[in-house]
Amino acid sequence: MIALSPAAPADHEALTAFLRGADLTLSGLGSPSVHLWIERDADGAVAATTGFELSADGRDALIRSVAVREDRRRAGAGSALARYAIERAAAGGARRAWLFSRRSGPFWRKLGFEVADRHELARRLPDTYQVRLFGETGQLDREVAWRRPLP
């Protein structure tokens, strides 16, 4: 069972450290346009995160910051986190979910994602922090994009 709560400004330092350790994008973590949730363990340490950013028109969501501490992997927590972000994005009006992932294709495929054109992702979500960062640094051309329709 995952007990998520919205990330608050006081969580920023711990969230940044956790996502850095997971080798995930840190840009925009403190922005109100980045919707993030965290789970803390009994000691108060961040144990899991998930989130998304919406396009300007709200039709597309960029799923991001889905991470589970290593000792909690392979127990379904990652899938639950991803579904949580997907469901919240759909509830907010998004019709398509997108993400970048070079390493976790099989995981995302199990959740209904298919390989997509990274430049189409960038066109649909140009104002998201991750797309802007990847465009500015040249990382966009090395990324693998994924997408799926939302209910």
Q: Which residues contact 145 (CB under 8 A, 6 or more apart)?
A: 98, 99, 100, 115, 116, 117, 118, 120, 121
CATH superfamily of 4-149: Gcn5-related N-acetyltransferase (GNAT) (3.40.630.30)
Q: What's the pLDDT at 7? A: 96
**Residue 1 pLDDT > 70:** no
The string of pLDDT tens digits covering residues 8-43 is 999 999 999 999 999 999 999 989 899 999 999 999
**Residue 70 pLDDT > 90:** no
Give the length of the chain: 151
Which regions of the chain does DSSP assign to beta strands (E)? 5-6, 34-40, 46-54, 60-68, 96-100, 114-116, 145-149
Give the number of other Cβ atoms within 10 Å of residue 137's Cβ.
10
**Residue 2 pLDDT > 80:** no
The string of pLDDT tens digits covering residues 116-146 is 999 999 999 999 999 999 999 999 999 999 9
The string of pLDDT tens digits covering residues 72-118 is 777 788 999 999 999 999 999 999 999 999 989 999 999 999 999 99
Q: What's the pLDDT at 52? A: 97
**Does the predicted model carry a pTM greater than 0.75?**
yes
